[in-house]
Amino acid sequence: MVTIIISYNHITIMIRILIAILMTTFSVVNAQESLPKKLSTLFSGKNKIVLVAAHRGDWRHAPENSLQGLKNSIVKGYDIVECDLKRTKDGELILMHDKTIDRTTTGKGKPEDYTLEEIKQFKLEDATPHATIHTIPTLKEFLKLAKGKVIVCIDKGFDYFNEAMKIVAELDMQEQIIYNIPCITLDSLKSLNLNYYNDHLVLNVLGLPLDTAAANKIANSYKSRGNTILHPTFNNDTIPFISWMRKVKTMKLGLWLNALWPEHDGGHNDDRAVEQNDPDGSWGWLIKNGATIIQTDRPQELLTYLRNKKLHP
């Protein structure tokens, strides 16, 4: 006969472990449920929340398009992490913005010059630039880490739509993806017969024309579909198109505005908000003119601003 003695301290430790497991499970399930809801609020027509899109991840504190940048973005509570795709010699989709790996890694040449195994030998560089311990992630690695935690916007990836969406489908992540597409009408998009496309996938239509009639044609083609974001850039804030942007919400479409550089937003950019201490003249102006998503290189400062304005939970 074996006698088992369990002390009060052991019971306390076991209870704490069980609570931690349950809390972690609840947090993951809750996040998975909230991500589709967070996206769907963009298309209600009454949405007052502005989402923060971290451009190439948290690149001021980690290499751009890196798993570490993604981890930082999740911990800091950003809504969307934008990433870019390229393909290796052996057909693997990796995260890379430029046509070459020269600027962001310790290597040289084009991604398609290397197999995945070869390209993984190089290290990502930070913004200074100095080599880090991080390597170029695959899209699958990136999505696995993001699953249930943050919305992923796939940019510079339309050429790889079928391959990328196959991975998204395998991971059952379609409801937390925004896919950037060229500025074409819905009929033109459907004529391409893309694999894995359906009306639940959130599309982000890039380069919306600044002529209001042309913009209306594009917008109206997606109006009945829903789940669509319009993404214009403009270097002048006095054109008639600016007034037109305010109507997008009434069409139950999202409006993605960039705060990255002055040529994207008529001078209402991140540096104006942070370095010139004029967030109302920058982010506030974008919101006043219809933004439901702001893509930024200053995600932490933008998130704080939105919360102070009660525009973000």
| CA separation for the pair 153, 239 (Å, rounded) | 28
Looking at 10, 97, 130, 264, which residue is catalytic?
Answer: 97
204 by DSSP, 3-state: which?
A: strand
Please state whether beta strands 254-258 and 51-54 pair in parallel, antiparallel, or not at all (unpaired): unpaired
The strand ranges marked E within the chain are 51-54, 80-87, 93-95, 151-155, 177-181, 202-206, 228-231, 254-258, 293-296
- Check if 97 is active-site: yes
Closest CA to 261 of 309, 206, 298: 298
Measured at the alpha carbon of residue 310, what is the angle toward residues 305 and 311, in degrees to the nearest 5? 75
User: Residue 251: CB partners within 8 Å, gap ≥ 6?
Assistant: 45, 219, 220, 223
Is 312:306 a contact under the CB 8 Å cutoff?
yes
**What DSSP character marks residue 124?**
B
Question: For helices 67-76 and 299-308, what crossing angle results, to 10°?
Answer: 10
The Cα 99–Cα 278 span in angstroms is: 35
In whole angstroms, how far apart are CA 52 and each of 25, 49, 59, 115, 309? 25, 10, 14, 34, 14
Amino acid at 83: C
CA distance 232 to 115: 36
Q: Quick check: is 130 catalytic?
A: no
Number of separate helices (H) and strands (E) present in the chain: 12, 9
Show which residues are catalytic: 55, 97
